[in-house]
Structure formats: C-alpha cells, structure tokens
A and B are shown apart, each in its own frame.
Chain A
C-alpha cells in the first residue's frame, strides 16, 4: 500500500480521477476549473520547492504574465488559442529563466527574499505600464477558445478543455520529475555542494527548472484569464505567489499530485468558508502555523501515514514489490 503510493502511474491515475470526479461533486464549473488550473501552477511550484529545494516567492510573476500574454495575444494580436498557448509557455519559460538566473545568484533566505522582491518588481511594472496591462482594471473581455466555431461559453465545456490540458501538462511534469534531469534536481535539493563537486553545473539545472516551472505556471495563468474573462492585476500580485506556495506546502512538497490536492483543499475550503465568514484567511493563517508545527509533510504526509497504518495490519511483508522506476534493490 505504501509502495503503491510511490508509483508515478498511480499519481497520474489520481490526477485523472480528480479531473473526472470534480464535475460529479461540485456544482460550479468555474470552481472545478480553478482547482485544476491552480493545481497545475502549484505542481509547477513544487518542481522548484519539492524537487530542487528552491522556495520561490515569485510564481505569481509567471502566472500573471501568462494571463497578460494570453489577453494581449487574443485581444490585440487576434491569435487563436492554439497559437497563443505555446507562445505563452515560451514567455513564461523565458521570464522564469531570467528571474531564476538572477535570484540563484544568492542562496538560502536571500534567494527567497529576491524572488519576493522580483514579484514586487513585476507587479509595479504591470501597474506602471497600464497601456499594456489595463492597470488596476486588468485586460477585459479575454475570450474563451473556440472549438468547432463555437466559444466554450458553458463552464463545464471550458472545464473539459482545461481538464485535457491539465492532464497533458501534469503528465509532462511527471516525465520531467522522473527524467535524468529530475533525478539530478533531487540531488541538488539534497546536497547542492556535493552535486557541484561531482561535476553538475548546478546553476544551469536550477535555471532550467525555473524555465519549466515558469512555462507551466504561465499556461495556468492563461487558462485562468480565459476562465474569468479578465487578465487582472491581482494575478501578478504578491498574494498570488503566496497562494501558490501555500497550496504547494499544504499539499506536501516533493510530490506532484499532492499539489493538486493542496490546491483543491485551499479552493474548496475557501469557497465554503468565505460564504460563512469573509475573514476566513485568519483561519488559514492559523492552519499554516499548525502545519509548520505539526504537519510538515502536508496532506500527502497524512495520507501516507494512514496508508502505512492500513498496510501494517493485514500484510506485514508488503514490501516485496519492487518499484518499477525508482532503483530499488531488495535486501538479502
């Protein structure tokens, strides 16, 4: 059971199941789309935090830029969505490579502070160049993609579009995590000095991780702009960076599906609680403190613990199955 939870195929299955189950349990197609969109962005954040050991407070930059780039390309340039999406991914990757390259010049807490300062930089850029971004109002009337001559106006029709992209990008992120590249990222996370001492150009790997994370985050931002019909200033604000990071940590670092779980938890709890009490973020603040104290592996850690407990009772020797992708050798 515990071994099962480590299998990548199981994680992809869980992601697919989430995409299928959301329409059955939620009444709002918008909320369901948001869960997948933020889940994707949180998973991209996790590639940096959980796999590379980089706590980036700048994910909102890429999310917001993705929204703006989508809005500008669709509205001003009149591009169709199929052409817009790859372009947005490129914008996200290039920006993230630049921000990453600058930020990793400092390490540890300085790195974190730099990413936060860069998120302010991009916020003020967007605020200042309001001709391009619409300033406080944002870019209005961002259209939904058209399929067979018809815009996906129905929330659930758009949800289907989001879900397909979500699964494709989730699979791509998984592929990255399992690649030689992803395995090297884990080494850098564990011990950067040693990774460098055995010959890896650590900076290049970190910048590449940033670029991939930025591309996926920007795509999520584009999907979000098409969902709400606006590319708002708030998407590039500090709070978006903060929210993405919180979702990632609530779900559990170092596990891509956990980020989807974290996003779902955050959004559903927010949806329920904000209806009762607009100041529900106070509870969230308390929850974050509690996670830091008692639940450092997040929701996924809870699931693993529960699974371990379940597994212990019926089958004590459940360890026999070797994992297909991680090199495991049974002890003699």
Chain B
C-alpha cells in the first residue's frame, strides 16, 4: 500500500467494505479501485448490493467494516454532505429533485452545495450573478434544458428529469461522480444522449455508474465490476468480463447485446 506510486493512487477506493441492515448482510468485504478519469461500471442482478455500495461510498449508510478513501484521504467516517465538499457527488436511481423549484434553481442549489455554509446567511440576497448561477446556466445548456429552465422540476418529462438528476451531481463539480442507473426508465432516443454525456464526463471527471443496459456498459466503460449477493464476482475490462465464463454462467447469460459483438 505504501509502495504505490502517486500516479496509481485511485480516485476512489473501498477496502473490505461491509454493510449490514440488522442481521441482513447487504455488502460483504467489497474492495474496489476506481481510477482517475476513467468510466467504471458496476453491474449485477437485483439485490447484488450495488445501490447499497453507493450509499456507503457517499455516506448515506454507515459501513459495519472496511475503509473508504477519496484521492487517498480516509472518508469512512465523513458525513455525506462533507463528502460533497471533498469532491464526491451522486445521482439517484429514483429521480430525486426539488419538485416545486425551477430547474435553474435546482442546479443553482446543487452548485451552491459545494460551499453550503455561505448559504447559511439569512440576510444575504441571492446575487443576480455568481459562480453557482454560472455553473447552473452552463449545465442548462450542456443538458439541453435551457428551454425549460424556469419550469418547476416536477413538471418536466421523464427524460428531462433524468438529465437534470445527473446534472445535479455534475453541478457540485466533483472529482468523482456516482450515477445510479442514469438511464432507468428512459426511451431509446434519450438513452443515446445520456450515453454520450457519461462518456463525455469520463474525460474531466471520474465516473462510477450502476447500469443494467449492457450496451451502454460495454460501449463506454473502461472497467466493469460485476457484483453478486453483496460481493464482487469479477472485475476487468468490458471484453474480459463479457467473456468470463463464471460471469456468463452466473448472471449475464445471453444478455450481452452491446455493439462490441
């Protein structure tokens, strides 16, 4: 561990991570290395512990055992909101927005979340122009949501809401961005745009994402981790994972329909 060179330092790492809900073991001894500026996918059947892993990584649940590091810094005991300041942000599988607030305000708040204590100022007005608003406006353009910027987030179409959901994670300008099933429930047209967006994000961020659509996983991931029953089954490059006999037997079967074929 000490001998590792600086360049090999993973952006996000988990060592021997375990999570329990009462007597139910949701995660068992999960070790994961997410390398900087890579796109890393997590796949696995329902109940494999993928979302629980995200909850543990982002601080929503306390792990029973193990260690989490972000850029080499131990964040195992750091609160969820503090992890955002350290450069870790996430989107949710089930869209979770500020439904009555405007799209632009949703993004402004998400950008402000990076410096939240500055918002704890009951006398300070929201300025007409500030860094958070600039971030929000840039994201509106990038996510193709400028046309609906003033609408309440709850009134958007499903595809728009999913884009905003990912945008909320991007707004914190994190080093590592965690996306929980970004394409869930999307139509084919929207999926293409989302795939491009995730690929694009991998250039200046580190992306860890959970996905069921194997086409996307195989096309844009640098690394794929397969989980089953709270454990890591296999990890490797997409082609390796796809050809791994155990993965085929255990989970994938004929499901691989990606363009790689």
Chain B binds chain A: yes
Using CB atoms and an 8 Å cutoff, list the residues of chain A in contact with chain B.
175-176, 178-184, 186-187, 190-191, 193-202, 204-205, 208, 212, 325-332
Within 8 A of A (CB), among B67-107: 79-81, 84-85, 89-90, 92, 96-102, 104-105
With a 10 A CB-CB cut-off, give which of B89, B101, B102, B148 has the most chain A CB atoms: B101
> Which residues on the B side are within 8 Å of A193 (C-beta)?
96
Verify if B66 is at the interface (C-beta below 8 Å from A): no
Docked-complex contact B119 and A180, CB < 8 angstroms: yes
Docked-complex contact B81 and A200, CB < 8 angstroms: yes
Docked-complex contact A175 and B116, CB < 8 angstroms: no
> Which residues on the A side are within 8 Å of B150 (C-beta)?
327-331
A-contact bits for B171-183, CB 8 A (1 contact / 0 none): 1100000000000
> Which residues on the A side are within 8 Å of B108 (C-beta)?
327
With a 10 A CB-CB cut-off, give which of A175, A180, A193, A329 has the most chain B CB atoms: A180
Interchain Cβ contacts under 8 Å between A and B, 7 examples? A183-B109, A186-B100, A195-B113, A197-B84, A198-B171, A199-B89, A204-B120
12 other A-B residue contacts (CB within 8 Å) besides A191-B96, A208-B122: A179-B126, A180-B124, A181-B120, A186-B100, A191-B99, A193-B96, A197-B96, A198-B84, A198-B110, A198-B168, A205-B120, A328-B150
Ranked 8 nearest A-B pairs via Cβ: A199-B113, A199-B84, A198-B113, A190-B98, A329-B150, A180-B119, A176-B122, A181-B122
Least CB distance, B122 to chain A, in whole angstroms: 4
Least CB distance, B112 to chain A, in whole angstroms: 7
Verify if B256 is at the interface (C-beta below 8 Å from A): no
Interface residues contributed by chain B, number (CB under 8 Å): 46
With a 10 A CB-CB cut-off, give which of B85, B92, B119, B149 has the most chain A CB atoms: B119
With a 10 A CB-CB cut-off, give which of B97, B98, B171 has the most chain A CB atoms: B98
Docked-complex contact A200 and B113, CB < 8 angstroms: yes
Using CB atoms and an 8 Å cutoff, list the residues of chain B in contact with chain A.
58, 60, 79-81, 84-85, 89-90, 92, 96-102, 104-105, 108-110, 112-114, 116-126, 133, 146-151, 168, 171-172
In the assembled complex, the Cα of A178 lies from the Cα of B125 at a distance in Å of: 7
Nearest A residue to B100, CB-CB: A190
> Which residues on the B side are within 8 Å of A332 (C-beta)?
147
Nearest A residue to B154, CB-CB: A190
Nearest A residue to B127, CB-CB: A180
Docked-complex contact A184 and B100, CB < 8 angstroms: no
CB < 8 Å neighbour of A202 from B81, B84, B96, B148: B81
Docked-complex contact A329 and B149, CB < 8 angstroms: yes
CB < 8 Å neighbour of B101 from A180, A186, A202, A208: A186
> Which residues on the B side are within 8 Å of A204 (C-beta)?
120
> Which residues on the A side are within 8 Å of B172 (C-beta)?
198-199
Docked-complex contact B124 and A179, CB < 8 angstroms: yes
Least CB distance, A185 to chain B, in whole angstroms: 9
Given contact pairs A179-B125, A184-B109, A331-B148, A199 touches B101 in the complex (Cβ within 8 A): no
Given contact pairs A179-B121, A181-B119, A197 touches B126 in the complex (Cβ within 8 A): no
